[in-house]
Amino acid sequence: MISVKNLTKYYGDVHAIDNISFDIEHGEIVGILGPNGAGKSTTLRIITSFLSQTSGSIFIDNKDIENNQRSIKKIIGYLPESAPLYNDMIVYDYLVYIAKIQDVEADKIEERLEYVIKACSLAGVIEKSISTLSKGFKQRVGIAGSIIHNPKILILDEPTNGLDPNQIVEIRELIKSLGKEKTVLLSTHILSEVEATCGRVIIINKGKIITDSSTEDLILNKTGGVSILLSIKTNDNEDNIEKTLKNISTLQTIKFRDTQNGIKNITLFLKESSTDPRDEVYNLIKKTDWVIYEMSKEKEDLESIFRTLTKGDNHE
């Protein structure tokens, strides 16, 4: 349905998008995840024809968007990063106005309004001025406007940015329900967002794709590991401690976090195993003169994987 091939974008010298390719099938809800400056908005602006690429191509329903802008705009709904709303307009008037801009046929406008008001739960605010609405309701109005022409594809740039926790939950529910009948591509810099809403996640950083997989697989495969938080008291230096701990069969990495009152706080990153790795760690330490002050096991979560994947790489 959406096919992005070798997309590259330079803003002057800034290499914002670096040769990215992906395909999105009908009915998917896909999240583009990345830190600020990763290139998310640029990618979405190009897909929606608001910006032209430096090179590469985009096909929607097998049509090259460059030569089919008019027909393709009809099947795409786009909510930009900061939804451009006309603050002094009444919600109802705004939606009628957007419907007209989007070429909704005059005799269909009423029907479409009814649909978006219901879908986005706007009945209670329809007569209000946009300026008086909460940020959450403004976002709903923005989403309502983006689907007024009944597009097959919905593209949302950081749709929950700046909302409070309740509003975030509500907008996510709205996106999920819209995702039942539309193909949705959204961007976010918040990992829990994709976990909550998207079946698939494309992680980008510095304009490059780092990972493209189902959200489930990402959690299963990439979070396969466990980490152990270990606090020990010993006079051994870090090299010697490391030498001893390297005997742990599932060990991947050792990180010395800090030393407090002579107690060394260490994180051990281990591969997933069928048995609890603490047994092995304990048996190993038993042979030394170290004193264990603390040992706890943590499952590696998506958040830490995301941080590892994109660590220190922010543009901004």
For position 41 contacting Mg ion by CB under 5 A, the verdict is yes
Secondary structure class of 270 (helix, strand, coil) = strand
Give the residue among 309, 313, 312 at the shortest CA–CA distance from 213.
309
Give the residue among 34, 113, 47, 111 at the shortest CA–CA distance from 79.
47
For position 159 contacting ligand ADP by CB under 6 A, the verdict is no
The pair of structure tokens assigned to 250 is: 């599932």
Q: Which residue has the tokens 């910006």?
A: 51
For position 40 contacting ligand ADP by CB under 6 A, the verdict is yes
Candidate residues 6, 21, 25, 36; the one interacting with ligand ADP per rule CB under 6 A: 36
For position 34 contacting ligand ADP by CB under 6 A, the verdict is yes
Q: Cα separation of 258 and 237, whole Å? A: 13
For position 188 contacting ligand ADP by CB under 6 A, the verdict is no
Secondary structure class of 105 (helix, strand, coil) = coil
For position 52 contacting ligand ADP by CB under 6 A, the verdict is no
Q: Cα separation of 204 and 195, whole Å? A: 16
Q: Are 252 and 271 in contact (CB under 8 A)?
A: yes
Look at residue 16 and give the partner it binds from ligand ADP, Mg ion, none, a contact being a CB closer than 5 to 8 Å depending on partner kind. ligand ADP
User: Which whole-number Å values give the CA distances from 217 to 33, 223, 302, in the listed order?
Assistant: 15, 9, 11
Candidate residues 7, 22, 39, 182; the one interacting with ligand ADP per rule CB under 6 A: 39
Candidate residues 2, 4, 7, 16; the one interacting with ligand ADP per rule CB under 6 A: 16
Candidate residues 4, 7, 42, 49; the one interacting with ligand ADP per rule CB under 6 A: 42
Q: Cα separation of 252 and 269, whole Å? A: 5
Measured from the CB atom, the residue of 75 and 210 that comes closer to Mg ion is 210
Q: Which stretch binds ligand ADP (CB under 6 A): 9-17, 171-179, 192-200, 282-290?
A: 9-17
* Binding interface with Mg ion (CB under 5 A): 40-41
Name the site residues for ligand ADP (rule: CB under 6 A): 11, 14, 16, 34, 36-42, 315
